[in-house]
Amino acid sequence: MQTERRPPSRGRRPTQADVARLAEVSQTVVSYVLNDIRTVSISSETRKRVQDAIAELGYVPDNAARSLRSGRTMTIAAVIPDITNPFYPDLIRGIQNVTQASGYDLVTYNTDGTLEGEQRGIDTARRGRVDGLILNPFHIDPSYLLPILTDGIPMVINGEYHLNAFPPDLPLDRVYVPGDAAARSIVDYLIEKGHTRIAMIAGEDATPPREGRVRGYRQALAAHHIPLEEALIRGSTFNEEGGYEAMRELLTITPRFTAVFAANDLMALGAFIACREEGIRVPDDIAIAGFDNIPAARLVSPALTTVAQYPERTGRHAAEQLMERLSGRYDGPTRVDLLQHDLIVRESA
Amino acid sequence: MQTERRPPSRGRRPTQADVARLAEVSQTVVSYVLNDIRTVSISSETRKRVQDAIAELGYVPDNAARSLRSGRTMTIAAVIPDITNPFYPDLIRGIQNVTQASGYDLVTYNTDGTLEGEQRGIDTARRGRVDGLILNPFHIDPSYLLPILTDGIPMVINGEYHLNAFPPDLPLDRVYVPGDAAARSIVDYLIEKGHTRIAMIAGEDATPPREGRVRGYRQALAAHHIPLEEALIRGSTFNEEGGYEAMRELLTITPRFTAVFAANDLMALGAFIACREEGIRVPDDIAIAGFDNIPAARLVSPALTTVAQYPERTGRHAAEQLMERLSGRYDGPTRVDLLQHDLIVRESA
DNA sequence: TTGAAAGCGCTAACAG
DNA sequence: CTGTTAGCGCTTTCAA
């Protein structure tokens, strides 16, 4: 019985049943051939008949049916804040390099750095029954993740997200560059270069990257007995506009600071633009340092001094952790892997 | 009967049947409440009982089952060559802006500019029964797309892909910047600045963007009676490395040309690097022009002269065309929309 | 206003 | 080596 009304122009796609009919075998055999099951053996003659029928009909398996039945989707989801920040495409590419090799599909959710976006990404992921998740959470409450983990869906979190209250036996792993240590290394560098009044363009309020990097900034100042001026720390969105706005506001402060540390490169580039508009020379009047080492960092003028992260490697690592969980090769407690970062001295500071 | 073996750690997720049991209604009613069907009316008391049960169990609908039954996935796919080229994240963002507003999910497939990647993206999309596709094809044979279109799955193609042989009544639309006109505008500009020997870094062989832009380059030279030197046209991949390699090869040619037109900005930036290494001044010794106007273009030094495309707008437009098809608001013949481009003169040429 | 029942296309246990 | 059969979770028709 054909109970539902189909959209008018959509022709019916061939199913395994159609293939079976044409090849004069049962539907089961079609499934066997398709999935290359080795617990049963199919005569090569039958296999050929099936394959011919598949080709003739242009049959393509239906993933919805397949995953409904098998409970697996062969898909993992990556939830990231901003695809237009060059950091994330590299991360995605790293993830994809390993998921693809394992036959997994990757779907990407862009949250725009909002709580709603994160919820939507995670919800949709859950509804879509993805087999695993890679998350860059900014705002989501950890409790939101718990049901997914207890369902047994493995997850890798990239970033210094606070979920210490979680039991250790969940299928959860973590990878991140320690933001405080990395920030300390670059602020230390600025201090060594003689700067004592160093502003910070901190990024969006109450987000893990901001918090780690601000902590490092504070630590570096404290270690050198430089008094902290809260007014020199400026929030903004993590993009070029945010950096531009923050810099404009900072430039109204007198007497003027001599260096700025921006919590990411995009914001540092925005600060460049603000300086250019004001006729402020970088690094002579104000030194500017960034964070991430996006490809543009070495191409701008002056080339940007920054802390390198390795997003492609990060993505690969996160995906590998996930694949180990998915394949059952690892089934232990939460792993926490700290990733490499490097101070990259160029011209801007 | 529970015939299959579940992955050990995965707890069973609540289903509509569980909700129904708890709320003491039939499963049907749960579905009604969930989908807010208005052809039937549910008493507000029943509705409340159902909603409470949903909350209590943390029920989340299963998309695989839903789309298996309904034939709709509420998902569209975008197939793009290279997520790390800043052009594409902007395109994606534009697409997402409109799909999200219509309640559609977006999944992105990265092809790495390969035929296999395109096939994989399209196949997976088809298997996954996405409701629509936005494609940036480089290599795929048009015949590969035909069964999808005749199945009634609408598609928007971004780029000057040759499928003139297609019947006009397929659910297919096209949006693109005419590569030849855009390339002509910038090569014309170079010629007006006095350049007569202009090299071209053309990008990957036999791809639509390359072909359109090379055509424009040839047209501009011809219009000014400048003889074409094939040796000055150099292929490469559409990224920074490709531009770098191509430029190094071009620089071995004597006597040297005075300007280069790169078929995208990433390649132009690679050419910058090659020049820097050789101590060649831009634009004094060699002028360099790009294509795309990626964000980095105005930040590099010298700032890059280029042709602006508007990927965010392009994505939005493509997605709107698709949504019109999907909603039935449009059901006519193929639409072809040409998009705006602008010559952006900066410092590099 | 509610419920029963069919069945989307597929996998996998089991029987032959 | 091949077939029969149940049922994944859901939407939708039809009946009450």
Cβ separation A150–B62 shorter than 8 A: no
Q: Which of A134, A183, A184, A141 is nearest to A159 (CA)?
A: A134
Please answer whether residues A9 and B171 qualify as being in contact, where contact means their C-beta atoms are separated by less than 8 angstroms. yes
* Residue A174 bridge partners (DSSP): A157, A336
In this predicted model, what pLDDT tens digit does every residue of A20-72 receive, in sequence order?
Answer: 888 989 888 899 898 887 777 788 888 888 989 999 888 889 988 998 888 88
For CATH 3.40.50.2300, list the domain ranges present in chain A.
68-177+311-340, 179-308
Q: How far apart are the first and last CA of chain A?
A: 73
- pLDDT over threshold 80, residue A107: yes
Q: Structure tokens of B342? A: 């602008």
The residues in B 119-158 lying below 8 A from A, measured between CB atoms, are 123-124, 126-129, 147, 150-153
Cβ separation A151–B10 shorter than 8 A: yes
What pLDDT sits at residue B84? 93
**What are the backbone angles phi and psi of residue B215, rounded to the nearest 5°?**
-60, -45
The pLDDT confidence band at residue A105, using thresholds 50, 70 and 90, is confident
Distance CA B113, CA B236 (A): 12
Q: Structure tokens of B314? A: 């392009």
Mutate to test the interface with B, among A90, A114, A122, A127 (most CBs of B within 10 A): A127
Superfamily of A68-177+311-340 according to CATH: Response regulator (3.40.50.2300)
Q: What is the residue whose two structure tokens read 């969930």?
A: B34
In this predicted model, what pLDDT tens digit does every residue of B263-279 receive, in sequence order?
Answer: 999 999 999 999 999 99
In this predicted model, what pLDDT tens digit does every residue of B158-170 receive, in sequence order?
Answer: 999 887 788 889 9
User: A132-135 and A172-176 as β-strands: parallel, antiparallel, unpaired?
Assistant: unpaired
Mean pLDDT computed over B103-125 = 88
The pLDDT confidence band at residue A11, using thresholds 50, 70 and 90, is low
Cα angle, residue B158 at apex, residues B155 and B164 outer, rounded to 5°: 75
Nucleotide C3, nearest residue via CA and C1': B26
In this predicted model, what pLDDT tens digit does every residue of B51-72 receive, in sequence order?
Answer: 999 999 888 899 889 988 888 8
The percentage of residues in chain B with a pLDDT greater than 90, rounded to a whole number, is 70
- In whole angstroms, D14 C1' to A60 CA is 33
User: A105-110 and B342-344 as β-strands: parallel, antiparallel, unpaired?
Assistant: unpaired
Nearest CA in chain B to A83: B89
What pLDDT sits at residue B168? 87
A60 to chain B, any CB pair closer than 8 A? The answer is yes
Give the CATH class of B179-308: alpha beta
What pLDDT sits at residue B1? 31
Mean pLDDT computed over A204-215 = 96
| B32 contact to strand C (CB, 7 A limit) | yes
- pLDDT over threshold 90, residue B36: no
**Range from B105-114, B144-153, B243-252 that averages highest in pLDDT:** B243-252
CA A92 to chain CA centroid, nearest Å: 6
The residues in B 23-52 lying below 8 A from A, measured between CB atoms, are none
DSSP A219-274: HHHHHTTPPP-GGGEEE--SSHHHHHHHHHHHTTSSSPPSEEEESSHHHHHHHHHH
Torsion of CA B112, B114, B116, B119, to 10 degrees: 80
In this predicted model, what pLDDT tens digit does every residue of A320-341 receive, in sequence order?
Answer: 999 999 998 999 999 999 999 9
- In whole angstroms, D13 C1' to A15 CA is 23
Residue from the list B68, B84, B171 with its beta carbon closest to the beta carbon of A9: B171
The percentage of residues in chain A with a pLDDT greater than 70, rounded to a whole number, is 97
Q: Which of B269, B260, B263, B274 is nearest to B349 (CA)?
A: B260
- pLDDT over threshold 50, residue B9: no
Distance CA B118, CA B140 (A): 6
What pLDDT sits at residue B7? 36
Rounded to the nearest integer, the mean pLDDT of chain A is 91
Q: Which of A108, A116, A107 is nearest to A140 (CA)?
A: A116
What pLDDT sits at residue B128? 75
Mean pLDDT computed over B310-327 = 96
Residues in contact with A57: Cβ distance below 8 Å, sequence separation at least 6, in sequence order: A14, A18, A19, A22
Q: Structure tokens of B7? A: 């992955």
Torsion of CA B252, B253, B257, B260, to 10 degrees: -60
Q: Which of A215, A177, A162 is nearest to A292 (CA)?
A: A177
Q: Structure tokens of A251? A: 């430039």
A84 to chain B, any CB pair closer than 8 A? The answer is yes
- pLDDT over threshold 50, residue A8: no
- In whole angstroms, D9 C1' to B298 CA is 53
Distance CA B228, CA A299 (A): 32
| A67 contact to strand C (CB, 7 A limit) | no
Mean pLDDT computed over A204-216 = 96
In this predicted model, what pLDDT tens digit does every residue of B294-313 receive, in sequence order?
Answer: 999 998 989 999 999 999 99
- pLDDT over threshold 60, residue A128: yes
| A58 contact to strand C (CB, 7 A limit) | no
In this predicted model, what pLDDT tens digit does every residue of B85-98 receive, in sequence order?
Answer: 999 999 999 999 99
The percentage of residues in chain A with a pLDDT greater than 90, rounded to a whole number, is 66
Residue from the list B10, B153, B269 with its beta carbon closest to the beta carbon of A299: B269
What pLDDT sits at residue B206? 93
For the beta sheet containing A233-235, the strands, ordered from the edge strand earlier in sequence to the opposite edge, are A233-235, A198-203, A259-262, A287-289
Please answer whether residues B283 and B271 qualify as being in contact, where contact means their C-beta atoms are separated by less than 8 angstroms. no
| Omega within 30 of 0 (cis) for the link into B255 | yes
What pLDDT sits at residue B204? 95
B11 to chain A, any CB pair closer than 8 A? The answer is yes
In this predicted model, what pLDDT tens digit does every residue of A220-254 receive, in sequence order?
Answer: 999 999 999 999 999 999 999 999 999 999 999 99
Distance CA A344, CA A190 (A): 12
Q: How many other CB atoms sit within 10 Å of the CB of residue B189? A: 20
CA B105 to chain CA centroid, nearest Å: 15
Chain A: closest CA distance from residue B235 (Å): 22
Cβ separation B68–A62 shorter than 8 A: yes
| B25 contact to strand C (CB, 7 A limit) | yes
Chain B: closest CA distance from residue A182 (Å): 24
What pLDDT sits at residue A4? 33
CA distances from A130 to A88, A125, B21, B207 (A): 20, 6, 27, 34
The pLDDT confidence band at residue B281, using thresholds 50, 70 and 90, is very high
Distance CA A106, CA A173 (A): 18
Q: Structure tokens of A88? A: 């994330």
Distance CA B134, CA B52 (A): 40
In this predicted model, what pLDDT tens digit does every residue of A256-272 receive, in sequence order?
Answer: 999 999 999 999 999 99
Instruction: Reduce the DSSP state of residue B173 to 3 states and report it.
Output: strand
- pLDDT over threshold 50, residue B201: yes
Global confidence as pTM: 0.90
The pLDDT confidence band at residue B11, using thresholds 50, 70 and 90, is low
Question: Which H helix or E strand runs over B109?
Answer: strand B105-110
pLDDT greater at residue B36 or residue A175: A175
B110 to chain A, any CB pair closer than 8 A? The answer is yes
CA distances from B287 to B82, B215, B236 (A): 27, 20, 19
In this predicted model, what pLDDT tens digit does every residue of B165-189 receive, in sequence order?
Answer: 888 899 999 999 999 999 999 999 9
b (16+ CB within 10 A) / e for B3-24: eeeeeebeeebbbbebbbbbbe
Nearest CA in chain B to A128: B63
**Nucleotide showing the shortest C1' distance to residue A5 CA:** D12
Q: Structure tokens of B80? A: 């793009």
Rounded to the nearest integer, the mean pLDDT of chain B is 91
**What are the backbone angles phi and psi of residue A56, rounded to the nearest 5°?**
-65, -40
List chain B residues with CB under 8 Å of A65.
64, 68
Mean pLDDT computed over B245-254 = 97
Q: Which of A109, A147, A27, A127 is nearest to A67 (CA)?
A: A127
**Neighbouring C-alpha atoms within 13 Å toward the C-beta of A30:** 22
Residue from the list B58, B89, B147 with its beta carbon closest to the beta carbon of A89: B89
Distance CA A14, CA A127 (A): 26
